[in-house]
């Protein structure tokens, strides 16, 4: 059976065009910086984000960790959101491997960190304090609903960072979704940041990989640390070839995923027993709870949906996040709504 897989956009398999490009990719040893396809990908990513240089990394987690390691020394502090991926879902790498202290402040429901909260989190110069070096935001903010942060907000954080001698990193795992949803360029959206990580392997459909983008100096240091972490790769042009298609083609079609998420949410709003979050979806993620009177829990619903060919990944025993992506078409949207209606009624 071919499953309809709504667990995440990380489940996206490479497109036939990607597989072809991967088979034909020109390659070389990327540790010698000799892989022409990787070099092309890195140039293209830097150009699209309006930064000097970029680095192909095996995962978004490694990209974020590298940014933290380049920007911060051991004992320094980074301000992060309490709902951020860096804080919650990267195995504490910043602390474990970098000796970097995460100063978590509240993510507002709109995904932002309040500017006043950032300001109050900055440590004053004092022998008792850590040195606040970095502020990180996440765009789109996943846990807050896949919500996109605006150009204006990002500029305001950039200004605050400059005025207070902080560096500024964007976890832009889904920054192309954020740009698409707001009809702005990614370049504009990341302009104030010193560094940005984004994932090729999610909505952009590549099988593997993320990009870390910033100044030449930043990327050179990140390349050194990538080797230290065991992330120096060889003939990795076979993966970069897919990444180029992600940038050139897949980045331009994310609006389709957002439209299907909207259609799916509209359908699910009509299903008894589901309570959708206000405003969902903002991009490609739909968040909802089971109504109090539904006797099944989310894990039981997941089992029953799987019997109907639909894969879900519940957040907890009452809550779901569904994610649309390249392999979810209109028929899949219809079947999903129908299956929920059957399972719950
Ligand atoms: C997926 C994700 C990452 C990390 O990417 P991996 O490739 O899974 O390591 C970082 N930040 C956010 C917001 C993500 O969704």
In this prediction, residue 217 has a pLDDT band, given cuts at 50, 70 and 90, of very high
d(CA 179, CA 185): 6
Task: Tell me the fold of 253-344.
Answer: 3.90.1150
Burial class (CB in 10 A: 0-12, 13-18, 19+), 345: exposed
pLDDT of residue 177: 98
d(CA 148, CA 151): 10
Check if CATH label 3.30.360.10 holds for domain 14-250.
Answer: no
Spans of all domains in the chain: 14-250, 253-344
- The pTM (predicted TM-score) of the whole model is 0.97
233-256 residue pLDDT tens: 999 999 999 999 999 999 999 999
Ligand 1 pocket: which of 173, 177, 284 to mutate (most atoms within 8 A of CB): 173
Distance 343 CA to ligand 1 centre (A): 31
Do domains 14-250 and 253-344 share one topology? The answer is no
157-196 residue pLDDT tens: 999 999 999 999 999 999 999 999 999 999 999 999 999 9
pLDDT of residue 118: 98
Check pocket membership of 142 for ligand 1, CB cut-off 6 A.
yes
| Beta strand segments in the chain, E | 4-5, 53-57, 76-81, 101-105, 131-138, 167-171, 195-199, 210-214, 274-276, 285-290, 310-311, 313-314, 319-323
**CA 40 to chain CA centroid, nearest Å:** 22
84-102 residue pLDDT tens: 999 999 999 999 999 999 9
pLDDT over threshold 90, residue 131: yes
Check pocket membership of 85 for ligand 1, CB cut-off 6 A.
yes
Task: Please state, for a pLDDT cut of 70, what percent of the chain lies above it.
Answer: 100
Atom of ligand 1 nearest to the CA of 62: 9
Atom of ligand 1 nearest to the CA of 84: 13
């Amino acid at each position: 059976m071919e499953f309809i897989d709504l667990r995440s956009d990380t489940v996206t398999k490479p497109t036939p065009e990607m597989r072809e490009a991967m088979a034909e990719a020109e390659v070389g040893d990327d540790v010698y910086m000799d892989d022409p396809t990787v070099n092309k990908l890195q140039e293209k990513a830097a150009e699209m984000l309006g930064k000097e240089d970029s680095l192909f990394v095996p995962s978004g987690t490694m990209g974020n960790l590298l940014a933290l390691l380049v920007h911060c020394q051991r004992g320094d502090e980074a301000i992060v959101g309490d709902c951020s991926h860096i804080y919650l879902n990267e195995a504490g790498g910043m602390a474990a491997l970098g000796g970097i202290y995460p100063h978590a402040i509240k993510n507002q429901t709109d995904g932002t960190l309040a500017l006043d909260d950032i300001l109050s989190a900055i440590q004053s110069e004092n022998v008792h304090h850590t040195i606040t070096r970095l502020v990180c935001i996440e765009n789109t903010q996943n846990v807050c609903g896949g919500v996109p942060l605006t150009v204006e907000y990002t500029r305001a954080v950039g200004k605050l960072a400059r005025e207070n001698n902080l560096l500024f990193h964007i976890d832009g795992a889904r920054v192309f979704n954020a740009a698409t949803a707001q009809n702005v360029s990614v370049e504009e959206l990341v302009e104030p940041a010193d560094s940005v990580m984004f994932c090729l392997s999610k909505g952009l459909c590549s099988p593997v990989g993320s990009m870390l983008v910033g100044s030449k100096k930043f990327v050179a240091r990140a390349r050194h640390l990538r080797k230290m972490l065991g992330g120096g790769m060889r003939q990795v042009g076979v993966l970069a070839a897919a990444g180029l298609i992600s940038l050139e083609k897949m980045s331009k079609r994310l609006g389709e995923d957002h439209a299907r998420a909207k259609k799916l949410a509209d359908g699910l709003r009509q299903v008894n027993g589901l309570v959708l979050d206000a405003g969902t979806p903002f991009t490609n993620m739909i968040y909802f709870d089971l109504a109090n009177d539904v006797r099944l829990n989310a894990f039981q619903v997941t089992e029953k949906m799987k019997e109907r060919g639909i894969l879900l990944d519940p957040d907890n025993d009452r809550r779901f996040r569904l994610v649309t992506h390249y392999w979810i078409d209109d028929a899949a949207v219809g079947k999903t709504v129908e299956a929920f209606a059957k399972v719950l009624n």
